[in-house]
Amino acid sequence: MQAISKNQIKYIRSLSQIKFRKAHQSYIVEGLKNAAEWLQQKADIEFIVGLATWFEENSEIIKQYTAAQCLVATEEDFEKISGFKTPNQILLVARMPEQAELANIKPDEWVLMLDKVQDPGNLGTIIRTADWFGIKTIVCSPDCVEQFNPKVIQSTMGSLLRVNCVYTDLVALLASKPETPSYAAILGGDQLDAAQAYTPGFIIMGNESKGISEAVKARVQHQLTIRRIGAAAESLNVAVATGIFCHALIS
């Protein structure tokens, strides 16, 4: 172990910005539960930053890492690098994995497709939902929020390690796979029926306020709507709607 340096503090602080995450191909994982998940799953860790007490209590866990990877920080250091209002006692800097290849998607595989989902909390919850339903791939439009955004990481609770997020042009992908069924969440579509057997394919969810773009909608095979029972609510949160769609289509 070694004390964290000023340059390392500066580097870690820079990773709160997407341009530096992309430049360094690294991201931050913060908090005890998330850090434990990343360490347990043996993710590619660049640095473990912790209070001296954390390292003392987790001496077995850190044996597989070099002294240069284990950085001892003070509470004052954590206040400089933490994105939490109340800094925790551990923070990881992890390396980004290579983007998964869409060619590896199996014909009988369910895939989530997100069109301009921009709220980090929503994307994080959707990633957790995908993990729950056994979905291994989420295809995001280029204007979706980045999966390594700290708020997304916090919301996934480790599910990001088991779900691949791929960013690509949705219209081009749908056009290249006309044989793959596509099911889109659209107001005014056919009623989503949990009793019906659906063939695996793309589950498409849209932007929080504008829904699915017209260009993507034009490529969709099945437009489906969750039956509304109440009279007042105009729409559902996209993460909630994703859970309902996954349950109805996959279960």
Q: Are residues 153 and 40 in the same domain?
A: no
Residue from 251, 238, 1 nearest 126 by CA:
238
pLDDT at 214 over 90: yes
Query: Which CATH number fits the domain that encloses residue 57?
Result: 3.30.1330.30
Q: Are residues 89 and 119 in the same domain?
A: no
Per-residue model confidence (pLDDT) at position 98? 86
Q: Are residues 42 and 107 in the same domain?
A: no
CB neighbour burial string for 175-191, b if at least 16 within 10 angstroms, e if fewer: eebeebbbbbbbeebee
Per-residue model confidence (pLDDT) at position 146? 96
Per-residue model confidence (pLDDT) at position 196? 85
Looking at residues 146-159, what average pLDDT do you find? 93
d(CA 123, CA 203): 15
Q: Are residues 90 and 107 in the same domain?
A: no
pLDDT at 151 over 90: yes
Tell how strand 90-95 and strand 26-30 pair up.
antiparallel
Tell how strand 2-3 and strand 111-114 pair up.
unpaired
Residues linked to residue 183 through DSSP beta bridges, in sequence order? 203, 222
Residue from 166, 171, 175 nearest 136 by CA:
166
Q: Are residues 18 and 75 in the same domain?
A: yes
Q: Are residues 111 and 210 in the same domain?
A: yes
Q: Are residues 20 and 67 in the same domain?
A: yes
Query: Which CATH number fits the domain that encloses residue 152?
Result: 3.40.1280.10
pLDDT at 232 over 70: no
CB neighbour burial string for 215-246, b if at least 16 within 10 angstroms, e if fewer: ebbebbebbbebeeeeeeeeeeebbebbbbbb
Q: Are residues 69 and 135 in the same domain?
A: no
Q: Are residues 115 and 11 in the same domain?
A: no
Per-residue model confidence (pLDDT) at position 83? 86
Query: Which of 44, 79, 95 marks a domain boundary?
Result: 95
Q: List, for residues 26-52, the tens digit of each pLDDT value.
A: 999 998 899 999 999 888 999 999 999
Q: List, for residues 177-210, the tens digit of each pLDDT value.
A: 999 999 999 988 888 887 788 899 999 999 998 9
Query: Which of 67, 95, 123 marks a domain boundary?
Result: 95
What percent of the chain shows pLDDT beyond 70? 99
Per-residue model confidence (pLDDT) at position 106? 81
Q: List, for residues 111-144, the tens digit of each pLDDT value.
A: 999 999 999 999 999 999 999 999 999 999 999 9
Query: Which of 95, 129, 150 marks a domain boundary?
Result: 95
Amino acid found at 122: N
Q: Are residues 132 and 221 in the same domain?
A: yes
Per-residue model confidence (pLDDT) at position 64? 87
Q: Are residues 128 and 64 in the same domain?
A: no
Q: What is the number of domains present in the chain?
A: 2
pLDDT top residue among 196 and 20: 20
Q: Are residues 132 and 17 in the same domain?
A: no
* Residues 126 and 208 sit within 8 Å (Cβ to Cβ): no
Write out the residue range of the structural domain in which residue 17 sits.
2-95
Q: List, for residues 80-123, the tens digit of each pLDDT value.
A: 998 888 878 999 999 999 877 776 778 889 999 999 999 999 99
* Residues 34 and 94 sit within 8 Å (Cβ to Cβ): no
Question: Which H or E run contains 123?
Answer: helix 120-132
